[in-house]
Amino acid sequence: MPTRRGTHLRYAYPLALTALLLPLAACGSDEANNAPDQTPTKKPTPATETPRPGDQQVTISWKGKRRSYTVHAPPGFSRTESLPLIVAMHPYPGDGKAAAAISGLNTKADKENFLVAYPDGLNKGFNALICCGSEDDVGFIRTMTKRLTRTWNADPDRVYATGISNGADMAYKLAVELPHTFAAIAPVSGGYLGKDAEDTSYVPKTPVSVITFLGGADRYFAAMDQGIETWQRRLSCRAGRPGKLKKNIKKTSAACRDGSHVVVYRLPGMGHAWPDGAGGGMSDPTAGINATDVMWEFFKSHTRTAA
């Protein structure tokens, strides 16, 4: 399996699904499924948390296993104010610390006054559209999000999801499988692909806007690009004229029939990375835009449509 800058084992995106999906997706999922399960199954530690500024790891019992996530709250946080929430998901293999390090979302949250939650996938991956594992991560993240709206007073109308690679694919899955939860998602170097996505009915049942960032030098670009085109076609999205930014970055914007919006940044010189991320091998400081800044502006302009 390929590595990128020695930091990330990327499961395969199929440039031809039938030729590549099974062998390469198995490379990621087999490692997750065959890894020793050291998670206790008896009397998991109950979740205990005290909403406050800074970082706090929370462990909950989910289907007999210990699942964890980290909450970051900005300085001056108080439950008297209902803040937006971003769920940020790591690549495979990785954890919430990796997602925080790559994205720089904690610094952005401190400046803009929002909450960030970093769920940890079991065996370092999420059961997303192609990879990795077989856990009910949709159910886990649903439970986590409900806890955050109840315990931390996160605003249920301003809940968003982002992630890179495996975490980006998970963002698409959450948008489809958790109706009335996310107002918008921001997948980075990820795609709407795999067996589920081949089903024409596998689309959000409530409006979920999308902003995504794709690297033209990413070996999976063609498949990811096809995926977002499929998403727009199924939701009857009408795109305006593409705009060109510096470094030949192409931006397209589309309005969809259900009221959602889709914005795609295609960055020709970027590989499998986070544009101008905060650090690490999956950050590309030369990409030409800062994905964290851009996605936050997009999120701010989208709230959940009333059920």
What is the structure's pLDDT at 141? 98
Q: For the chain, which residues make up each domain, given as ranges?
A: 3-32+40-300
pTM for the structure as a whole: 0.86
Question: Residue range 27-33: average pLDDT?
Answer: 32
User: Which stretch of 44-53, 103-112, 232-241 has the lowest confidence by average pLDDT?
Assistant: 44-53
What is the structure's pLDDT at 47? 58
Superfamily grouping for domain 3-32+40-300: Alpha/Beta hydrolase fold, catalytic domain (3.40.50.1820)
φ and ψ at residue 172, rounded to 5 degrees: -65, -40
Q: Is the pLDDT of residue 120 over 60?
A: yes
Q: 306: pLDDT confidence band, cut at 50, 70 and 90?
A: low
Q: Is the pLDDT of residue 241 over 80?
A: yes
Q: Is the pLDDT of residue 5 over 70?
A: no
pLDDT digits (tens, 9 = 90+) for 248-259: 999 999 999 999
